């Protein structure tokens, strides 16, 4: 094995581990990027990629030179690393040497989060406040979730590096449920406990995991997609169990889980402003460079506008489908430029706006609370909507790719 072989193995193994830990777009994109790197440096790969497992066999010409198994559990994404890998791929395409590429990926893998822990806690509060008006457009919903978001963010930064990190959805939903039902009892009963606290728990909701799972299944990656889908549902169940435990301790009947009939009082202009607040909090929470804030906010507002407009005309399913197609087209066009963020960064705000995961919590909670018909309807809607988002984004990708191919032919 030559020195270059050893450097390439270090490069491809580290890149694989980084991408696996931040696999918001699923295993298909991981395989695509690793194959791209190997081809540029004259190597060939055989890859088996699952949601938390990556097996790589490296060939140089006809010679088998390396075999490795990499494991990494996807968690709350640090999207600055995904952005850095995209830049690295562009640099490699532009002629970056193998040795320099390896040095860069080692820096990416070991770099600390771009925002300190205390700022991420504040970011989670903004994240919750910004999303709150999409549940109930009232100032009460906003300020309470600002408080609860601080708690959620604090729990996140404390637990994410410990062995209790896998229980973060359970611990967060239980703690926030206790606080809401103790200090904001009257409001929780009016709004419905689940609907009051969902924005503060949005950091836990496996929105991109569910869409990535649907995409993997859609493209024939059945094992990876099924495993990721089960993981997403287990996360939702943890959150429901946490809320129910909080209700048991505070002696709140399960029949209080129904959504309250609260009139929206927030001006639509403020609603758009809070979507920007939401994107600002998203950047801090998920370590997205602040230079991308404007684009994220535009994507989120556009997604919300398209979904709302088409939902009014043709229903929620059509609205979600069309909004996903628009997000897919625009994200694929924008991400082709090296100065633009990766696709997953661009449309992560759209994933949250389309809010598929929260429907699962609402539906399961309603069923447990005795509202079987309403809850079942919500769960079925979630089951239909999350592949709808993925298929819409895939169609958007195909549309934008076809357009480029036609331009090249001309």
pLDDT in tens, 241-250: 898 889 889 8
76 and 221 assigned to the same domain? no
Residue 37 and residue 178 in one domain = no
The lowest-confidence range among 28-37, 103-112, 141-150, 263-272 is 263-272
Together in a domain, 337 and 285: yes
Report which of 105, 120, 208, 210 is spatially closest to residue 159, judged by C-alpha positions. Answer: 120
Q: Are residues 153 and 48 in the same domain?
A: no
What pLDDT, on the 0 to 100 scale, is given for residue 406?
A: 44
Average pLDDT, the chain: 81
Write out pLDDT tens, residues 98-119: 999 999 999 998 888 889 999 9
Report residue 166's pLDDT band, with 50, 70 and 90 as the boundaries: confident
The pLDDT score that the predictor gives to residue 409 is: 44
- Is the pLDDT reported for residue 379 higher than 70? no
Dihedral sign computed on CA atoms, order 184, 187, 190, 194? negative
Q: Which of 110, 142, 160 is the last residue of a domain?
A: 110
Please name which of 113, 2, 127 lies closest in space to residue 61, comparing C-alpha atoms: 2
Secondary structure (H, E, C), 52-113: CEEEEEEEECCEEEEEEEEECCCCCCCHHHHHHHHHHHHHHHCCCCHHHHHHHHHHHHHCCC
Q: What value, to the nearest 5°, has the Cα angle with vertex 304 and ends 168 and 371?
A: 55
Q: Are residues 128 and 80 in the same domain?
A: no
Boundary-marking domain end, from 81, 110, 139 = 110
Are 240 and 325 members of one domain?
yes
Structural domains of the chain, count: 2
70 and 216 belong to one structural domain: no
Q: Are residues 383 and 302 in the same domain?
A: yes
Tell me: do 100 and 211 sit in the same domain. no
d(CA 2, CA 170): 49
325 with 177, same domain: the answer is: yes
Whether residue 145 has pLDDT greater than 90: yes
Q: Which residue has better confidence, 217 or 114?
A: 114
| For residue 359, pLDDT beyond 60 | no
Threshold 0.75, pTM exceeds: yes
Q: Look at residue 147 in the predicted model and tell me its pLDDT.
A: 95
Residues 5-46: tens digit of each pLDDT: 899 999 999 998 888 887 666 777 888 889 999 998 989 999
What six digits make up the tokens of 33?
A: 């990027």
Q: Which of 110, 145, 174 is the last residue of a domain?
A: 110
φ, ψ at 203 (rounded to 5°): -65, -25
Alpha-carbon gap, residue 328 to 58, rounded angstroms: 33
CA 391 from chain center: how many Å? 16
Taking alpha carbons only, the member of 188, 169, 184 closest to residue 253 is 188
On whether both 395 and 253 belong to a single domain, the answer is yes
Position of tokens 């229980």?
167
Q: Over 80: is that where the pLDDT of 96 sits?
A: yes
Domain range for residue 129?
117-406
**Is the same domain home to 94 and 135?**
no
Q: Are 326 and 339 in contact (CB under 8 A)?
A: no
- The CA-atom distances, in angstroms, between 236 and each of 4, 108, 214, 343 are 46, 31, 16, 25
Phi, psi of 58 (to 5 degrees): -110, 135
Counting residues of the chain whose pLDDT is more than 90, the rounded percentage is 21
Q: Indicate left, alpha or beta for 95 from its phi (over 0: left) and psi (-120 to 50: alpha).
A: left
**pLDDT band with cut points at 50, 70 and 90 for residue 381:** low
Q: Which residue has the tokens 């001006």?
A: 267
Radius of gyration for the alpha carbons in the chain, expressed in angstroms and rounded: 22
3-state secondary structure of 18: helix
Exposed / middle / buried, residue 95 (Cβ in 10 Å: 0-12, 13-18, 19+): exposed
Write the CB contacts of 343 (distance below 8 Å, at least 6 apart in sequence): 25, 331, 332, 335
Which SS3 state, helix, strand or coil, does residue 45 take?
strand
DSSP assignment of 132-176, as one string?
GGGT--SHHHHHHHHHHHHHHHHHHHHHTTSGGGGGHHHHHHHHH
User: Across residues 165-182, what is the average pLDDT?
Assistant: 92
């Amino acid at each position: 094995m030559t020195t270059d072989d050893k450097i390439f193995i270090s490069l491809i193994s580290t890149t694989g581990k980084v991408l696996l830990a931040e696999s918001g777009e699923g295993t298909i994109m991981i395989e695509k990027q690793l194959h791209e790197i190997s081809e540029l440096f004259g190597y060939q790969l055989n890859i088996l990629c699952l949601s938390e497992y990556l097996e790589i066999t490296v060939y140089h010409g006809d010679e088998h030179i390396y075999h490795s198994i990499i494991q990494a559990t996807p968690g709350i994404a640090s999207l600055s690393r995904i952005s850095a890998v995209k830049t690295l791929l562009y640099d490699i395409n532009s002629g970056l040497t193998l040795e320099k590429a390896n040095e860069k990926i080692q820096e990416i893998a070991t770099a600390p989060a771009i925002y300190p822990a205390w700022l991420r806690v504040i970011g989670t509060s903004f994240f919750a406040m910004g999303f709150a008006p999409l549940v109930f457009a009232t100032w009460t919903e906003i300020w309470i979730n600002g408080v609860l978001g601080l708690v959620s963010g604090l729990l996140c930064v404390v637990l994410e590096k410990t062995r209790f990190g896998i229980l973060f959805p359970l611990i967060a939903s239980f703690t926030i449920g206790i606080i809401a039902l103790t200090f904001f009892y009257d409001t929780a009963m009016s709004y419905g406990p689940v609907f009051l606290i969902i924005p503060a728990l949005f950091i836990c909701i496996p929105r991109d995991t569910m869409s990535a799972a649907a995409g993997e299944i859609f493209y024939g990656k059945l094992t990876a997609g099924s495993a990721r889908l089960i993981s997403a549902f287990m996360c939702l169940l943890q959150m429901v169990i946490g809320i129910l435990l909080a209700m048991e301790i505070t002696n709140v009947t399960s029949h209080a889980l129904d959504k309250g009939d609260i009139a929206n009082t927030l001006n639509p202009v403020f609603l758009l402003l809070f979507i920007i607040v939401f994107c600002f909090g998203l950047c801090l929470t998920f370590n997205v460079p602040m230079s991308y804030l404007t684009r994220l906010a535009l994507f989120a507002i556009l997604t919300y506008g398209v979904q709302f407009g088409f939902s009014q005309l043709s229903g929620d399913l059509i609205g979600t489908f069309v909004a996903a197609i628009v997000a897919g087209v625009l994200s694929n066009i924008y991400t082709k430029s090296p100065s633009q963020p990766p696709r997953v960064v661009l449309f992560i705000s759209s994933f949250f706006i389309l809010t598929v995961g929260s429907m699962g919590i609402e539906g399961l909670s309603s069923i447990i609370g005795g509202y079987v018909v309403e809850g079942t309807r919500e769960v079925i809607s979630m089951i239909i909507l999350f592949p709808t988002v993925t298929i819409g984004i895939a169609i958007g990708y195909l549309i934008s790719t076809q357009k480029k191919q036609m331009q090249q032919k001309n």
